Structure formats: C-alpha cells, structure tokens
Structure 1
Amino acid sequence: MQANTTLLAGKSYVPALDGFRGLAIMVVVISHYGLGKVIPGGFGVTLFFFISGFLITRLLIAEYEKEHRIDLKSFYIRRVLRLYPALFFMVAIAIGFTMFMGCGFQSGAVLSTLFYYRNYYMLFGGSLSPANCTRIFDITWSLSIEEHFYLFFPLLFMAFYRRPKILATLMGISIVSVLAWRLYLVATEGLTELTVYRIYHLTDTRLDAIMFGCLVSLILHQDQVARYIRIVGHPAVFAGAIGLLFFTFLYRDGTFRETWRYSLQALALSVILPAVLYGKSYTTLMHWLSTPWLVTIGKLSYSLYLFHWVGVSVAENLIGGERLKAPWLLTAVPLGLLLSLLSYNYIEKPTARLRKRFGSTVETAPLIADSSLVTEHPSVG
C-alpha cells in the first residue's frame, strides 16, 4: 500500500480530521440525549482525546521543523485564546442558571471550571448528586484532562524531539503506566461506584488515549512512515482494529471496562485513523469523512460539547430527568444548538483572527465547510 504523503505536512488542513471530530461529538451528544445505553458516549470522549494528541503533536513537529524551536509563550497564548472565550460565555450562562435555580453563586464550581481542575473537584470537592444544579459545569472535566496534558507535553517534546526513539519510549512508558494504574486501582479498591467514577474522569487514569495519538503522530513523521501506513492499512490489520473496537463496546465485564477498554480503544484508533487518513485503500472512507455536513459538525464540536450540556442541564432541572421525551428534547436540543451557533459565529470566529497574531494559521472560514481549504486545523491552532 502506498502512503498518501501529500497529507503528512504538519499544518496542512485535513478535512477528514474534522470529520472524525464530527463523529465524536455526535456520539457524545446522542448518548447524553438519552441513548447512552446503546451509543458508546465514552468512546466519543476517547476519540476526542486521541485526535487532540495526534493534532497537537503534528503542529509541534511542523513548528519545530520550520523554526528549530517551539515558542512556548505563543503556544500557551493560542491555547488561552482558543478555549477561554467560549468557556467564559458558557460559565456566564451557568452562573445565571445556578442563581436562577436557587443554588446561589458557587465559587468552587466556577473556579474549578475556569482553572481546569473540574474533574478533580467533582470527585474531591463537589457534589456527585445528579440533582445538583451545579452539574451544569461538569462537562468541562474532559477539557481539564487535555489542558493538564498541554501543560507538560510541549516541554517533553522540546526536550526529546531530536531523539525520537527516547521520546517514543517515554510515550510508551506513560501509556503502559496509566493502564497499570487503572489495574492497580481496581485490584485494590474494587469496582465501587467511586472507583469507576474516578477512573473515568481523572487525568491520571485517562491520559493514555491522548498519548496514543501523540505517539502515532510522531511515528508518521519518522523515516519508517511508509512501512507503518502499509501495516495499518493491510486489510487484515484494519479489520482486526475494527473488530477490536466493537469488542470493547460489547464485552461488559466490569474489570475490563474500567481498565483494558480505554487502552484497546486507543490502540484500535492507532490503526484506523492513520489508515483512513493516509492509506490510499481507504479513500472512500476519507472522502465520506470529508463531506461538508460532517466537517461542519466537526468545526462546531467545541461549542457543541460545551453548550449541548447546558441544554441537558436546563432540561433536567426544569423538565425532569426522563430523557428522550418530547418536552425534554424540545428544551435541551434547540437551546444547546442555538448557544453553540452563537458561540461559534460571534465568539470563536472573531478570536480565531486574534490568534493569528501569535502564530496560528487558522482561517476564519464560513461555517459550512469547504473541503478544498488547506489551512491549519481550527481546533488546535
């Protein structure tokens, strides 16, 4: 199999990556709207983690190869400008909602959201009660994991990129260590509700999916890239990865689900994603992932992730906890979509232009995707 090497340039825009993000956000949203027992919403988050690691490593490699350095100051400023405008909008709405519901101003909830320790605060400092209206802030737990990762990974990258074997080894050690930690927690604490909640939400138990994405991105920029793409694109290997993914959905053993499931899903993505993006045998899949409607959903994924949960929280507190009913859906869906569109068009796009001053090459393109564009991926620049 030949590699589609024209897509390997670090800052060239690959619409299918937004397509993957579109799939991820649809899985998450649909599961939250009441189909969580049949739609693996947790896998959508794992897919987000993997893509995030893949993309950020891709961009760091491109910057290092061009400039022979990483501008950390600009990197972190771009992260702030990418995430905080929409987050401030969401937090303002959440504060108003909690005040309206009689919860008062919850300083702990606000601070843990704005400073990205919401996942730990949910477990150690906040209430786990499903009736608590401050759960409107909880959707930022996964963003906390990504931001914790972004604090240290550029430093690791800068230290070892010129020694890729060492860097790859450190990535592999971190992946195995996180799995070992999950196994230890289950072995020592059992499958208690608290342990399951901890493993799903905390950085130290979920970081491996992001690192899997980083490792694949690093491999794709080494001399053996053609061999790697040939291996993952082999029909038997690709089919095996698809089968492994479905196995993780269907096998319901509790210990497996809280330990090996996340590792095996990320391992399967390490085959599927590069094979679809760069293997010429899977161009049909890539073209489907690049369709404008799916790419458009991918472009909206950050706003949809934040604000669909606002709609869910409002519906649960005002209508009730029984999802999939017409009054519930007519509250949650339109509200979440409206806020997402407002955030994307009037907050995220204007600040995307500001990010250009700090090295971003993102284009403020119309929401309806044009798959012929060649720009930096809009979610990480």
Structure 2
Amino acid sequence: MGIPTVHESPTGPRFYRPELDVLRFLAFVMVFAVHADVASTPILKAISESGRGGVCVFFLLSSYLITELLEREDAKTHGISLRSFYIRRALRIWPLYFLALLLARLIDWHVPHLQMSNGRLLASVFLVGNWYTYFYGFPASFALVLWSVTVEEQFYLVWPSVRKFLGSRALLLVSILTFPVSYAAIFWLCMHARLERQFWVNTFVQIQFFGLGGMLALQLKGASPRWPLAGRALLFLGGLFAFFVAQYFFHHSGDMSLVRNAVPEYLLLAAGSVMLFFSVLGMARLGRATFLVYLGKVSYGLYVFHVLGLRIALRPASLLVRRMALPDWEGRIIQAALGLMITFGMAHVSYRYFEAFFLRFKERFATVKTREV
C-alpha cells in the first residue's frame, strides 16, 4: 500500500519548504552539541557526539534543495543557466565564508596559538580546505568547521553541469553511483588511512549524502508524504537512534580503520539522515513555527560562528565557576548556554546586516523563487 502524497506543481511561482529550515536548525543543534562537549559519562558523550550526523543532514538537504530547484528551472524555462546558478551560490555562500576566514586571520594576530597557517588559508580560499585538513588535521582556529563548506562547493562544481548537459536520468544515475564511490573510498581508507578525520572530511566519503538528496528530489518530484504524527515521531526518534548507534557502537568504541566499523557507521548515518528528512517533510504545522523557521533561516551563520561563540563564552563561564565553586560539568553547561546565546546574536546580526544585502541581490538571478529574505 503506497503512502499518500501531496503533489506540488514543478512550475509553481515559488519553492520553499519552511519545515526543512526547522530541520536545518536541528542539524545545527546537533553539531553544536558535539563542540559544546558537556557530557560527563561515556553514554552521554556518545549521545552528544552523535550530533556529528547533523553535518550529513546538511549535505542531504543541500543536495535535495539544489536538485529540486534545477528540476523546476528546467521545467519552467526548458534549460538551466549555469551562470545564474553559480552567481546565486556565490552570493549565498562566499560573503559569510570569506568573512569568517578574514576574522580567523585577524584573531591570529591577537591569539597566536589559534593561528591558521598560510597553507590552510590558501587552501580555504581555493575551496579545498577539507583536503588540507585531510593531510594536516583540524586547525585550532574557530574556522575549523569551514571544511564542510568546501565539500559543498565541490558538489556545486559538478551537480548542475550533469543535470544541464546529461539530463535527469543521468543525474539519478550519478546519485546512485555516489554510493559505490563512497564505500570504495571507505574500503580504501580502511587499508591506507589510520586517522578518523581522513574519513570524515573526505569528499568521496561524504558524497553519498549528496547522492541521497539528489535521489530524494528526483524520486519525490515535488511530492511530500502525508505521514501521521505518530509515524513522524517514530521516524524522528529512529533517525536520532541511528546516529547514536553509529557513534557508540562503531565510532566511539571501535577502530575506524576496520571495515566492520566504518561501513556500518556510514550506513547508519545515511539511514538516520533519510529518516530525519522524512520525519519533517511536508509537516505544515512545523513550517508555521516561525521562530524555529527563522533559526533555520540563519543556520549558516549559526554554524559558522558557533565555535567562536563557545570560545568567547569560556572566560566568563570560567570566572563564574571559580567564583561560585561550581563543579566542572556545570561550568561546561554554563559555557554552552552562554555560547549558544552569543552564537544566536552573531548569526542574527550577520544575517540582517551583512548576508541579507547579498541575498537580495541574489534574487535578481533566481529563475525559481525560494524563501523571501
């Protein structure tokens, strides 16, 4: 028996799913939990660190939305403008990305031990920062999270050209082929690499989540399943549980150089990402949660600035812990709470007074209108 679906016209005047902005905010919260590091027991640590799956959700969402927009553009205009696509992506991603790199460099001058090397800066400027991290490790700089932005930029380099010149069927085939490519890369890394980061920041490993997003867009064709609330809750909890199992049983407690650990971990991350996606897709009431939707709207800034927010919060949190003689775990919670508030403030200011200028300009190149600025 099929799942009832709600279909949307592929040539509608605007494509926007606010419930996916809420999922985007959830993905940020998961990543924030990893870097906040407030857990005090192995189980709690595995729960918080399972939030790394939020990065996979970001990748899936990005691919789903980009693929859907490409399909709608082709249906509307009988073609795809690569020039307009890359202008839109540059105006959305580059201003904040390069601002973060500039801030990281300015901080270098005042806090030498957080310095970003010239080589890393150059790699980041040319959008291959993830590969620099692959070889040399994560930086001490707050810009350590920008590796994932460079992975997305590499995805943008290929995806629209495949759709424009080869069509939807070829893009679906490429989406499917991302899985053998990803798991071939994982097998190779199990034999030749020994460091977990070499799996995590590797474009060829992460490409499976872009493939998933592409397959979902091409198969759903603008439709969304009408799940009952109980079914959505089960999918949501199942997605979170899949992330936890991946972290606790295969990552946290295992050797990532073993195929029996690496392959199940990434399969669970893929399954969890899809379950979380379906748990919210088409959930109209979630799309009416305006505050959560707004937080998803500014999630790029939240993601870029959250490590900086946590570091700014460290000093006042430490002073409070010493003054009130609080245990260390309470200090970490205070730092996380304060860091989250600081991050919200920075992301809001960034979006309203910096990003919005470029986003309004970006709308001039939009064939299919999306959310309003």
Q: TM-score category by the smaller chain?
A: 0.7 to 0.9
Alignment of 1:346 with 2:353, yes or no, is yes
Instruction: Give the 3-state SS of the residue equivalent to 1:69 in structure 2.
Output: coil
For the 8 Å contact 2:27–2:55, the answer to whether it is kept is yes
Distance of 2:129 and 2:329 partners within structure 1: 25
Quick check: 293-302 or 328-337, which moved more?
328-337
Q: Which residue of 1 aligns with 2:322?
A: none
Offset of 1:63 from its aligned partner?
0.6
Match of 1:49 among 56, 59, 62: 59
Distance of 1:305 and 1:378 partners within structure 2: 21
Q: RMSD of aligned C-alpha atoms?
A: 3.3
The answer for unaligned runs of 5 or more in structure 1 is 363-375
Match of 1:3 among 2, 5, 22: 5
Q: Which residue of 1 aligns with 2:30?
A: 27
Please list the CA deviations of residues 290-320 of structure 1 after superposition, one character each: whole Å capped at 9, or x if unmatched. 4112111101100000011222345569988
After superposition, where does 1:179-218 map in structure 2 within 5 Å?
Answer: 179-186=183-190, 188-189=191-192, 192=194, 194=195, 196-218=196-218
Q: Which residue of 2 aligns with 1:373?
A: none
Instruction: Give the 3-state SS of the residue equivalent to 1:6 in structure 2.
Output: coil
Q: Which residue of 2 aligns with 1:97?
A: 107
After superposition, where does 1:139-154 map in structure 2 within 5 Å?
Answer: 139-154=145-160
Instruction: Give the 3-state SS of the residue equivalent to 1:259 in structure 2.
Output: helix
Aligned residues: 343
Distance of 1:31 and 1:350 partners within structure 2: 31
Distance of 2:157 and 2:371 partners within structure 1: 20
Offset of 1:257 from its aligned partner?
5.0
Quick check: 6-15 or 237-246, which moved more?
237-246
Distance of 1:359 and 1:220 partners within structure 2: 22
User: Under a length normalisation based on structure 1, what TM-score does the superposition of the two structures give?
Assistant: 0.78
Distance of 1:148 and 1:91 partners within structure 2: 18
After superposition, where does 1:35-74 map in structure 2 within 5 Å?
Answer: 35=38, 37=45, 38-39=47-48, 40-74=50-84
Match of 1:178 among 177, 182, 193: 182
Identical counterparts, % of pairs:
26
Kindly provide the amino acid, as one letter, of the partner of residue 270 in structure 1: V
User: Under a length normalisation based on structure 2, what TM-score does the superposition of the two structures give?
Assistant: 0.80
Distance of 1:220 and 1:110 partners within structure 2: 40
For the 8 Å contact 1:19–1:290, the answer to whether it is kept is no
For the 8 Å contact 2:63–2:211, the answer to whether it is kept is yes
Offset of 1:334 from its aligned partner?
4.4
Q: Which residue of 2 aligns with 1:110?
A: 121
Quick check: 99-108 or 67-76, which moved more?
99-108
Please list the CA deviations of residues 157-199 of structure 1 after superposition, one character each: whole Å capped at 9, or x if unmatched. 123325x2x432232122222023213322x147x3x2x1110
Match of 1:120 among 102, 125, 131: 131
The answer for unaligned runs of 5 or more in structure 2 is 40-44, 319-327
Instruction: Give the 3-state SS of the residue equivalent to 2:127 in structure 1.
Output: coil
Q: Pick closer, same or farther for the CA change 1:35–1:61 going to 2, 3 Å.
A: farther
For the 8 Å contact 1:119–1:138, the answer to whether it is kept is no
Q: Which residue of 1 aligns with 2:286?
A: 288
Match of 2:309 among 301, 308, 311: 311
